[in-house]
Amino acid sequence: MRILVTGASGFVGRAVLPPLLAAGAEVHAVSRTGGAAVDGCIWHRADLMEADRVHALVGDVRPQIVLHLAWCVEHGRFWTDPANLDWVAASLHLARAAAEAGASRFVATGTCYEYDWPDQGKCRECETPTAPHTLYDTSKDACRRILEAFFAQQGMDFAWGRLFFLYGAGETPSRLVASIARALVQGHKAPVSLGLAVRDFVDVRDAGAALAALALSAATGPVNIATGEGISVANLAMKLGEIAGRPNLVQLGALEDRAGEPPVIVADTERLTSEIGFRPLRTIDKGLGDALDYWASRLGQIDRTPG
């Protein structure tokens, strides 16, 4: 199975490649910087904003499957980044190139922010409607609508992995888990909001394995990439403090809660577990512990309590 992966050197991309390789796929990894972030792949350097280059590359590789992960993801900025429009355009060009090169399957990633989050209960792919919140999720949702119509017409399979709250090694340092873990391993106070919001946090390695399984499956349409379990931000922060052996450093309520944030965003993972046959391999304790180890190895020592 020959698969072309965009955004391959990114946070999610690096986590998708090992399970694809382990499944025996011939993995063509595309990156703007061209860095060989994972061994065993065939790396290609390309800027997806250059439509002609994309057509030539996809025509050369002739993948059976395209797994499109690239998008603008600069932390704090991607919600409103006008580059979201360019990424819609680039994704549509890639879709046409894939169809013209004879690919039979196209898989791309959306976000849990596409959903009109229910006041109670979990987000279900086929029941929960979508609603616009930011330019980012509006662009993702609109892109999915076009791709769904296009690939249906082309007779190609199309799936859309909706990513929930990823964390883990290699995460942008200013994101939630990374910022708390970095403070803790350095012995600094870790200021957090009251943290009542409940979210579905998923280890990026599990998200990568789930996306790889989705890409190699025959499933079509939206599929939540998540654990199906919610945890409040406060509990997550306290867990990090306890695992690090420094619970007193976690300062709940020291930061303002973000206005307008929904109380609960948790996935229904029936499609992922039943249709794709995937289950997360790591508990939240294991994932958070590994995140602490990652930042400790980069930033300094830490007293890990056993267990």
If the CB atoms of residues 154 and 235 are measured against its own copies, the closer one turns out to be 154
**Residue closer to its own copies, measured from CB, 133 or 239:** 133
Query: Which range touches its own copies (CB under 8 A), out of 69-77, 79-87, 120-128, 216-224?
Result: 79-87
Would you state the structure tokens that stand for residue 281, as one six-digit string? 């391999």
CB atoms within 10 A of CB 106: 26
Contact between 281 and its own copies per CB under 8 A: no
With binding defined as CB under 8 A, does residue 53 bind its own copies?
A: no
From CA 246, how far away is CA 185, in angstroms rounded? 9
The CA distances from residue 266 to 5, 132, 138, 197, 235, in Å, are 27, 18, 19, 11, 15
- Residue whose CB is less far from its own copies, 86 or 293: 86
| Contacting its own copies within 91-120 (CB under 8 A) | 92-93, 95-96, 99
Residues 140 to 169 in contact with its own copies, rule: CB under 8 A: 141-143, 145-146, 148-150, 153-154
Considering the rule CB under 8 A, would residue 196 count as an interface residue with its own copies? Answer: no
**Which residue from 64, 104, 138, 179 is in contact with its own copies, where contact means CB under 8 A?**
138
Of 26, 66, 23, 105, nearest to 277 by C-alpha is 23
Q: Is 88 in the site for its own copies (CB under 8 A)?
A: yes
221 contributes a contact to its own copies by CB under 8 A: no
Ramachandran class of 197: left when φ > 0, alpha when ψ lies in -120 to 50, beta otherwise = beta
d(CA 8, CA 69): 7
- Closest to its own copies by CB, 118 vs 132, is 132
Q: Give the single-character DSSP code of 130.
A: B
Cβ closest to its own copies, residue 21 vs residue 142: 142
- Please give the DSSP secondary-structure letter assigned to residue 132: -
> CA-based angle 288:293:299, to the nearest 5?
120
Residue 226 CB partners (closer than 8 Å, separation 6+): 112, 162, 163, 164, 165, 200, 202, 266, 267, 269, 272
Candidates 83-91, 251-259, 262-270, 271-279 — which segment interacts with its own copies by CB under 8 A?
Answer: 83-91
- Is 1 a binding residue for its own copies by CB under 8 A? The answer is no
Between 82 and 306, whose beta carbon lies closer to its own copies? Answer: 82
Site residues (vs its own copies, CB under 8 A):
80, 82, 84-86, 88-90, 92-93, 95-96, 99, 132, 134-135, 138-139, 141-143, 145-146, 148-150, 153-154
